[in-house]
Structure 1
């Protein structure tokens, strides 16, 4: 009986493999593009080039591009993928061919609880997406709105500074401090209240852990994304885990929305927060956004507004600490422009060119979204004589662009001076530096991220001296990275602060 069961199982496996292989071959034959694909490594049957991609895809793509060129084709499972790895190719993808390449391939993790269908990040450029985008650019992230909420950012800087001051001589997790500050800042802009307290209640710990889990789980390579026949089986349990996480996060937003619906929105324009604006906003059909839609949209705002900024700040401070000359120059600039009798303010930032150079250099070496969020070809198009077939997945490897020796001399060196007296910006027009993307898919929260990153880094540098615990050599600081949804440090930055300003400033 055991022999029969074993034989039956082996037969079923054999026929399953044969059937899948036949389906794969027929699919590839039917979908074979009429033009010539960009060059790339030869794919294996069924798995394509997946085995040639390591755990950090941005690094693997970079090495493969050195062989196959700045526009390269890979077959990741059954999905045709094109990778752009130079400024010229990035310009083609994000600007010249933007109308054809601005769609999304929604990953399985984003489909849980209908998140992706209501997301600014994952939704195609359909009318509802354009409505959310319009709200961002004309009501939420305008210069006027951000300036009106300046006092909230100022108060969060004060809270961060006080909390670090209280822990003087004790190790501080800088990334965590930046996360709490930026998350509370976004929370105040949306709900007019802090989301977390610095002592971390049990509820805030659960919520923060859910966010961290989401970024880890959602960023995993999911076999169901590359082999469509696996989708119903959820072989790695990613869909199940993401559903569990969303069921922790979304009810928190629902609670805040319900409270506001009961109390009513503010009538004075200057007093309105983001929730007031969204509850009053109309869709393209003249209807109001539903609570369900707003909850999913808030998730995008919080993750982009806090996670991206906090990781950038952690990378910047890591580079500053391991490069003492950079720290000295940045601090000297702060002392000359701001002095030591008051805290740095947002109004000072435009007068701190070396600080700007430090942030740009951080974006170049450590872009938090190293492959941006991938695009999908709505229609077949051509780049440099090569065809990008309809429905192909398209990555822009901004991490590779930042390390291209043809673009940047000594690309692996952290050298902010390269941006001093340079007109290179990161607002989507210079394709050498694209941490926020470009074209219609550029991150709409860029103006807010610009303010958060600069003022937090400036505050950390002005208010405290930093040294590593246990006499660690700064030059040997672990700078290894791992990629999920964001590019993060494997080893979190922990450093010991020493106050460097008069005591009354910390009160």
Structure 2
């Protein structure tokens, strides 16, 4: 390190050491809540409870909740944080107090290139957010629209199956295969084009690298989010990195939009893809959405539509391989309902109750959004006699709820049978199973995720036998998780496929 940079560093830390105590005291005096906060661990001066939270935040929150209760207060730096860790408390946050707790605290990483201001995920429930939400629920993810694009999804599943068939007996990264498939499904629904090819072109490699970097950088704890006075300094360089990554990703989206603007949108309803719909949509003021807004919106659709679904598929296949009896039952159901002379289709999903149970059990044990993206209190409200102060951030620990022994029998066991005679669904009404959230902030893409996860898992099970490499014992498969924007497997699932259907099925 040269002298000038060393001097700059010394000056920075001097300023921080001088300013922090003053700003902290003033902030605490101004923001002291007028009512009783939910219980929680005693915070340290200045830093709060940060040192009590490990790298897997969902697990740390769960352990603290066992001590302090299902509605708990933490002070993460200077941010008052409330964590709900039971179905009853989740109902209070997401239903009873939905209107008061529907805002967001926008993290610094989301502010780059004005992404957050045009995001369905991060923006408060203002008129423009309601416009994007309405487009999702009434035009993009309707039964009619998804059915019209059914053939595109079917073709992507066929491509996945064919690519795996060609690499038979070679170890396969199942999560990567699921990611390519789901990403191309979303790409075809948005642009009527594949985003990646299975041979990994340079363009697809660059985009995929940027996406992986985004998930890593965007999921890192950012000191500027916990100590707002650090925002101008960007001490970890996260804003700089996210700006670089967003530029790469947005440039790709811009290219597709420019091509469509040049060629013109399609007017026939059955031929439209999502881009046609968005280019023809009107905002709450009667204006059309701009390219700038659509680009940011596409980022949300791609991340939610591919990363979360592919992670769920990888978790599901990991549990299936780890539990041979589950694999046998799911496969027997497929053989009875679908047979071995054709591939499973989306139209078969409703007739596969055990497959449904497998997916629900995966959502319970391995929710990809383990802590629903935090809410923010628009105004002070009350839950169970405790005050949630204005501007507090509120998490719902879906991961903890799914492993609560007061809710689930043998919660650590992967046991799909628990759902065979159960009415519990994951569409927001049952607060013990909330992989997509509930209330006005609930994920609008549930119908698409439902189709992709079920048909991809069913295809992988029906078409191939799976063995772990090097004679690895399935029962000892590493199931540890890595916390970030999504909850990923710490070690990717690598397995060897062997075809189990007649060869003509794979052509």
TM-score range relative to shorter protein: over 0.9
Distance 1:15 1:165, change over 3 A: closer
Residue 3 of structure 1 corresponds to none
Residue 487 of structure 2 corresponds to 487
Residue 26 of structure 2 corresponds to 26
Residue 38 of structure 2 corresponds to 38
> 3-state DSSP class of the match of 1:258?
helix
Give per-residue Cα distances to partners, 1:51-81, cap 9 Å, x unaligned.
Answer: 0000010000000000000000000000000
Query: What is the rounded CA distance, in whole Å, between the counterparts of 1:501 and 1:132 in structure 2?
Result: 44
Residue 252 of structure 2 corresponds to 252
> 3-state DSSP class of the match of 2:169?
coil
> 3-state DSSP class of the match of 1:112?
helix
Q: Displacement of 1:14 after TM fit?
A: 6.4
Distance 1:165 1:12, change over 3 A: closer
TM-score (norm: length of structure 2): 0.97
> 3-state DSSP class of the match of 2:279?
helix
> 3-state DSSP class of the match of 2:229?
helix
2:164 is the counterpart of 1:164: yes
Distance 1:18 1:475, change over 3 A: same
Give per-residue Cα distances to partners, 1:388-417, cap 9 Å, x unaligned.
Answer: 000000000000000000000110000000
2:194 is the counterpart of 1:198: no
> 3-state DSSP class of the match of 2:225?
helix
Residue 426 of structure 1 corresponds to 426
Query: What is the rounded CA distance, in whole Å, between the counterparts of 1:160 and 1:320 in structure 2?
Result: 19
> 3-state DSSP class of the match of 1:429?
coil
Distance 1:9 1:347, change over 3 A: closer
Counterparts of 1:202-241 in structure 2, within 5 Å, are: 202-241=202-241
Q: Displacement of 1:9 after TM fit?
A: 10
RMSD over aligned CA atoms reads: 1.5
Residue 262 of structure 1 corresponds to 262
Query: What is the rounded CA distance, in whole Å, between the counterparts of 2:299 and 2:13 in structure 1?
Result: 42
Distance 1:504 1:386, change over 3 A: same
Residue 143 of structure 1 corresponds to 143
> 3-state DSSP class of the match of 1:73?
strand
Q: Displacement of 1:17 after TM fit?
A: 2.5
Q: Displacement of 1:7 after TM fit?
A: 13
Q: Displacement of 1:22 after TM fit?
A: 2.4
Query: What is the rounded CA distance, in whole Å, between the counterparts of 1:307 and 1:8 in structure 2?
Result: 39
Q: Displacement of 1:429 after TM fit?
A: 0.3
Residue 366 of structure 1 corresponds to 366
Q: Displacement of 1:20 after TM fit?
A: 1.5
| Structure 2 segments unaligned to the other structure (5+ residues) | 1-5
Query: What is the rounded CA distance, in whole Å, between the counterparts of 2:314 and 2:395 in structure 1?
Result: 25
Residue 313 of structure 2 corresponds to 313
Counterparts of 1:11-22 in structure 2, within 5 Å, are: 16-22=16-22
Runs of 4+ in 1 over 4 A off after TM superposition: 6-16
Query: What is the rounded CA distance, in whole Å, between the counterparts of 2:216 and 2:157 in structure 1?
Result: 28
TM-score (norm: length of structure 1): 0.97
Query: What is the rounded CA distance, in whole Å, between the counterparts of 2:121 and 2:270 in structure 1?
Result: 28
> 3-state DSSP class of the match of 2:466?
strand
Query: What is the rounded CA distance, in whole Å, between the counterparts of 1:17 and 1:38 in structure 2?
Result: 31
